[in-house]
Amino acid sequence: MRTFSPLWLLLASQLLVGCESLHFPWEKGAATVIPGTGTVEAPQQAGEGAQCPEPVEVVCAEPEVKVVERVIERRFEKVVEVPVAKDRLVLGAVETVSIEPGGLLFESVIDTGSATSTLGVQELKRFERDGKEWVRLKLAAPDDGSEADATTVELPIKRHIRVVRPGFESQRRPVVEMSLTVGDITHMVEVNLTDSSSSKYPMRVGRNFLKDAAVVDVSRRNVQGEPSTPSNK
């Protein structure tokens, strides 16, 4: 049997594996035959004519999406009981008020949002006396009913104020001094007059009476009861 030299075996193996260049055993980086398998392993060489690696498909991972849940913490107000000074009245949202002159009792709104107190009357007429401007007004408690039971009062006008309310025309109201009594406290305060008595509460007690005299608990009504007027104290 004819034998083949190792060189011919190397050339044949190079052709079988499809190499682009031939390498000889005495060259650096020559191909080697794996014993027992007949497979020729060609080394990786840099430079022109080297076998290029097969392209590998690279798949980029999907970006991780983080869902952030925003939680709004609701804070609840804490009710704190504040001690009230002993020399101040505690008033509810509505109290009975005695008005002088006139001697009438009115269920009145305690209005901390108004600087001055307000009184709605049945009739309001301005006139002049001794060179000064006065006002004639008729007072009747809501439960008294007819105009015949109204009390006529005349008072000097101290000044005027202009009241502007959304949706209404501005009003120029006269301001007089009246004595108001709530509970055991009587104060002489300024009261602005309006020609309107249709409201259920024609009297609104403002801050000029409450200042340094009372505190208001809007969750209560008629805390003080019927006032002690100066005539029956």
Q: What is the pLDDT along the chain (233 residues), one digit of tens a residue?
A: 455 566 666 666 666 555 444 455 555 454 555 555 555 555 555 445 556 667 666 666 666 655 555 555 555 455 444 445 566 788 999 999 999 998 889 999 999 988 999 999 888 999 999 999 999 998 876 665 555 578 899 999 999 998 887 877 888 899 999 999 998 889 999 999 998 766 788 899 999 999 888 888 888 898 888 887 655 54
CATH number reported for the structural domain that contains residue 206 in this entry: 2.40.70.10
Domain span at residue 23 reads 6-41
Q: Are residues 20 and 113 in the same domain?
A: no
Structural domain contains residue 73: no
Helix (H, G, I), strand (E, B) or coil at 4: coil
Q: Are residues 126 and 19 in the same domain?
A: no
Structural domain contains residue 225: no
> In the chain, how many domains are there?
2
pLDDT of residue 199: 72
Structural domain contains residue 83: no
* pTM of full prediction above 0.75: no
pLDDT of residue 126: 93
Q: Are residues 24 and 121 in the same domain?
A: no
Task: Record the tokens describing residue 181, joined without a space.
Answer: 């009594």
Q: Are residues 200 and 96 in the same domain?
A: yes
Q: Are residues 93 and 31 in the same domain?
A: no
Where helices occur in the chain by DSSP H, the ranges are 6-17, 207-210
Q: Are residues 18 and 98 in the same domain?
A: no
Q: Are residues 95 and 209 in the same domain?
A: yes
Q: Are residues 113 and 180 in the same domain?
A: yes
Task: Record the tokens describing residue 168, joined without a space.
Answer: 């209404």
**Residues pairing with 110 in the sheet:** 205
Rounded to whole angstroms, what are the CA distances from 207 to 34, 109, 112, 146, 222? 108, 12, 6, 31, 18
Count of Cβ atoms closer than 10 Å to residue 102 Cβ = 21
